[in-house]
Chains A and B, each alone.
Chain A
Amino acid sequence: MDKTDKKVAVFACSGIGKPLGSVAREIGYELTERVRPDKTVLTCLALLVINDPDTRKLITDNPVIAIDGCVKDCAKKSLEANGAKLVRACQSIEFFKKHNDLKPEGIAELNEAGKKLAALAADELAGVVDELLAEEAKND
């Protein structure tokens, strides 16, 4: 990719044990499908577990957002362990603290409050996408 077609790579933890992992996953979808579809690309975090070469290239050539569900920060740590270029990390619990009337429930199927929380979080992350791409353009 040259500087004109760089995108922000988005990775969500998708934790399978807690609703906040599902919120992280939903934030990834909201950000890449609704909020910034032309500026972002969602990729499977699990590909980093197998050192997938295309994914390693993606994260070393492009800025990256890591969306984690809990304090274990699996997405962020996996990206850093694989040499990601520029990682901005967040946790879905941070957004829940700000919008604590939206309590996420359900893992396989997130409740409406969880989906609304994810949509709000993605709206907030839009600015981070724009910032990362602006920094990228300045550095190229």
Chain B
Amino acid sequence: MTDKPGKVGIISCSGEAIPGGTLSRVACRKVLEDLRPHQSVTICLPLFIAGGEEERMFADLFPTITVDGCEKRCAALGTERLSGKPTKTLIVTEMLKEKGIPPTTKLRNLGPEEKAAAQAVAEEIAAAIDEILATG
């Protein structure tokens, strides 16, 4: 009998000061609400500092995907330091580059270009969830 995980935890950097942070946040919500609502859960990254033992157990309870907006990788490093090693680490700027999508510049009030970029990132996250769930 296999013991495959039922859900994957997604942790977004949500960086307020960078366009990639906004995209990470919007893309993660899209996954949670539309693309993989029954296969994904989330936790706010700063809760690892502010929360208690229960929050810090997050990466023990779920295989996790971190989604960072920039190369500082706050979500990946923070999750590893305070909760547990992420199963997969994604960086928005790298994903956009690989897909040939120009970097976005808006922090809020996203237009059609930014929304399309967020959709592309969300689809990558959804694919990563499928891969994790398939391999257990």
Interface residues of A, Cβ cutoff 8 Å to B: 11-17, 21, 25-26, 28-29, 42-50, 52, 72-75, 77-78, 81, 107-109
Contacts and interface: CB of A to CB of B under 8 A. Distances in A.
Contacts of A77: 46, 49-50
A17 B51 CA distance: 15
A109 B22 CA distance: 11
Contact of B108 (A21, A29, A49, A72): A29
B133 to A, nearest CB: 21
B21 A26 contact: no
B13 A108 contact: no
A21 B42 CA distance: 14
Contacts of B77: 49-50
Given A16-B29, A26-B108, A108-B30, A46 B42 contact: no
B51 A108 contact: no
Interface of B: 12-18, 21, 25-26, 28-30, 33, 42-51, 72-75, 77-78, 81-82, 107-108, 110
Contacts of A78: 46, 49-50
B29 A14 contact: no
16 contacts: A16-B12, A16-B28, A16-B29, A16-B42, A16-B44, A43-B16, A44-B15, A44-B18, A44-B21, A45-B16, A46-B46, A46-B74, A47-B15, A50-B78, A81-B49, A108-B25
B55 to A, nearest CB: 9
B115 to A, nearest CB: 9
